[in-house]
C-alpha cells in the first residue's frame, strides 16, 4: 500500500477525518448553546415568548402579504390586534381567574371532605367494614391531604403575585415580547434564508429535509395543538361558567391548557368539575349531567373536528416523551425551559428517527456480509435474493 504524500493521511481517510472534525464542531456548538441558555435563562423569557408568538402568527402574516399588505404593515396589524386581545384578557379575565383560584384553594378542604362523606355513604357495606377493620382513619387522612393541597395552591399563587421579579417579568412580557414578535414577523423569511445560507453545502439537502420535518412537527404542535388548547379552553370555561359551576372559569382554562397532553385536559378538568358539581348541585342530576355533557361534547369536538383539521394525523411526539421533555427542560431552565420543551422535543424526535433510519440502512445493523436494503427505485433483477 502506498503512503500518502508528505506523510499526510491517505485520500480514503479524508472523509473520516472531516466527519470527525464536523462532529466535534457541532458538539461544541451545541454545548455552547446549552451553556448560554443555562446562564441567560433568567432574562430569556420575553425573547423566547416573542419568538414563539411570531412562529405561531407567521402564517397569518403570509396570508396578509398575499392579500396585498406589505410584510411590515401586516406585522404591525397582527401585533396591535394581539396586544389589544392580551390587554383585554389581563384586565377582564386575569383578576377573575386569580380570584377563583384563591377561593378554590380556600374551599378545597371542605369540597374534598364533602366528597369523601358522599362516597362513604355510597360505598357498599363490605367496603366500609374492610376500612373499619384496617384501622385507617380515612376522614383524618382526607382532611390532612386537603389542607396540604390548599396550602400548596395558595403558596404558588402568592409566589406568582408577590415574587421579587414578578412585576419585572410582567412588564418585560408586555413590552419586550411584542417588540421581539414584531421584528421576528418582519424578518422571518429573510432570517430563514440567512440560516439556510450558513448550512454546509455538502449536506444542505439533508439539513433542509430535516428542517422541513422539524418544522412540520413544531407547526403541528405549536400552531395546531396550541389552537386546539385555546379553543377548548374557551369552550370549557364558557360552558362551565354558563352552567353555574363554581370556579368554572379556572377549571375550564386549566382543562384547555392541559389538552396538549392527550386526555390529560379532559381527565383533570372533568374530575375537578364533576367533583365540584357533586358538592354544589347534589341531588340536582340535571345540573350535574350538564357538566358531564360539556366535557363529553368537548372530547367529541376535539377528536372529530379540531385535532384532525388543525393538528393532522400525527405530529410525531409521543405523550410520554412530551411529558418527559416538559419535566426535564422545566427542571433545567425553569419557565423558559417549558417554552423550549416542545420545540426541542420535536427536533429531537426528528433527529432520532433520522439517525435510526441511517442505522437500519448501515453495515453496523445489516452486518458486513449482508447486502444493503433495496431501494424502491432499484430494478427487480438488481435486488438481492
Q: Give the pLDDT confidence score for residue 12 in this predicted structure.
A: 46
Q: Output the nine-digit C-alpha cell for 305.
A: 373536528
Q: Give the pLDDT confidence score for residue 239 in this predicted structure.
A: 92
Residue 172 burial (10 A CB sphere; 0-12, 13-18, 19+):
middle
The answer to whether 295 and 266 have CB atoms below 8 angstroms apart is: yes
pLDDT of 69 above 80: yes
Q: Break the chain down into helix, strand, coil percent, rounded to 5.
A: 85, 0, 15
Model confidence, pTM: 0.69
Q: Give the pLDDT confidence score for residue 9 in this predicted structure.
A: 47
Q: Give the pLDDT confidence score for residue 142 in this predicted structure.
A: 61
Residue 321 burial (10 A CB sphere; 0-12, 13-18, 19+):
middle
The answer to whether 337 and 41 have CB atoms below 8 angstroms apart is: yes
- CB atoms closer than 10 angstroms to residue 276: 23
Residue 182 CA from chain centroid, whole number: 23
Q: Give the pLDDT confidence score for residue 294 in this predicted structure.
A: 92
Q: Give the pLDDT confidence score for residue 153 in this predicted structure.
A: 61
Helix, strand or coil, per DSSP, at residue 365: helix
d(CA 286, CA 274): 12
Q: Give the pLDDT confidence score for residue 293 in this predicted structure.
A: 93
The answer to whether 349 and 321 have CB atoms below 8 angstroms apart is: yes
Q: Give the pLDDT confidence score for residue 236 in this predicted structure.
A: 92
Please state whether the peptide bond connecting residue 283 to the residue before it is cis, i.e. omega within 30 degrees of 0.
yes
pLDDT of 235 above 90: yes
d(CA 306, CA 285): 30
Mean pLDDT of all residues in 123-143:
62
Q: Give the pLDDT confidence score for residue 314 in this predicted structure.
A: 52
Place of cell 430563514: 192
- CB atoms closer than 10 angstroms to residue 341: 21
Q: What is the mean pLDDT of the chain?
A: 76
Mean pLDDT of all residues in 296-324:
76
**Higher per-residue confidence, 206 vs 317:** 206
The answer to whether 345 and 322 have CB atoms below 8 angstroms apart is: yes
* Percentage of the chain lying above the pLDDT 90 cut: 5
Q: How far is CA 126 from CA 115, 117, 130, 131, 329, in A?
A: 20, 17, 6, 9, 47
Amino acid at each position: 500500500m502506498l503512503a500518502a504524500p508528505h506523510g499526510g493521511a491517505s485520500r480514503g481517510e479524508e472523509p473520516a477525518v472531516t466527519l470527525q472534525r464536523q462532529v466535534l464542531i457541532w458538539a461544541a456548538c451545541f454545548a455552547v448553546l446549552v451553556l448560554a441558555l443555562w446562564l441567560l435563562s433568567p432574562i430569556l423569557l420575553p425573547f423566547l415568548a416573542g419568538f414563539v408568538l411570531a412562529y405561531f402568527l407567521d402564517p397569518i402574516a403570509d396570508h396578509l402579504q398575499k392579500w396585498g399588505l406589505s410584510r411590515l404593515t401586516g406585522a404591525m396589524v397582527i401585533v396591535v390586534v394581539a396586544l389589544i386581545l392580551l390587554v383585554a384578557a389581563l384586565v377582564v379575565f386575569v383578576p377573575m381567574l386569580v380570584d377563583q383560584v384563591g377561593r378554590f384553594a380556600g374551599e378545597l378542604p371542605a369540597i374534598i371532605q364533602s366528597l369523601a362523606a358522599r362516597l362513604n355513604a355510597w360505598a357498599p357495606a363490605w367496603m366500609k367494614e374492610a376500612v373499619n377493620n384496617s384501622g385507617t382513619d380515612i376522614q383524618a387522612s382526607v382532611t390532612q391531604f386537603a389542607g396540604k393541597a390548599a396550602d400548596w395552591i395558595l403558596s404558588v399563587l402568592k409566589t406568582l403575585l408577590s415574587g421579587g421579579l414578578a412585576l419585572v417579568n410582567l412588564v418585560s412580557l408586555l413590552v419586550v415580547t411584542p417588540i421581539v414578535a414584531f421584528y421576528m414577523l418582519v424578518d422571518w423569511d429573510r432570517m430563514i434564508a440567512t440560516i439556510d445560507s450558513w448550512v454546509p453545502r455538502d449536506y444542505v439537502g439533508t439539513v433542509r429535509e430535516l428542517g422541513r420535518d422539524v418544522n412540520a412537527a413544531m407547526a403541528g404542535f405549536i400552531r395546531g395543538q396550541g389552537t386546539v388548547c385555546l379553543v377548548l379552553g374557551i369552550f370549557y370555561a364558557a360552558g362551565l361558567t354558563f352552567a353555574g359551576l363554581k370556579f368554572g372559569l379556572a377549571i375550564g382554562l386549566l382543562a384547555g391548557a392541559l389538552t396538549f397532553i392527550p386526555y390529560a385536559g379532559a381527565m383533570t378538568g372533568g374530575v375537578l368539575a364533576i367533583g365540584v358539581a357533586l358538592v354544589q348541585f347534589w341531588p340536582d342530576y340535571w345540573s350535574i349531567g350538564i357538566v358531564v355533557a360539556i366535557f363529553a361534547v368537548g372530547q367529541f369536538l376535539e377528536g372529530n373536528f379540531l385535532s384532525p383539521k388543525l393538528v393532522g394525523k400525527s405530529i410525531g411526539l409521543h405523550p410520554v416523551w412530551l411529558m418527559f421533555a416538559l419535566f426535564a427542560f422545566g427542571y433545567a431552565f425553569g419557565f423558559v425551559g417549558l417554552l423550549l420543551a416542545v420545540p426541542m422535543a420535536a427536533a429531537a424526535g426528528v433527529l432520532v428517527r433520522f439517525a435510526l433510519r441511517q442505522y437500519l440502512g448501515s453495515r453496523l445493523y445489516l452486518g458486513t456480509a449482508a447486502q444493503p436494503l433495496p431501494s424502491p427505485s432499484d430494478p427487480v433483477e438488481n435486488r438481492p435474493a
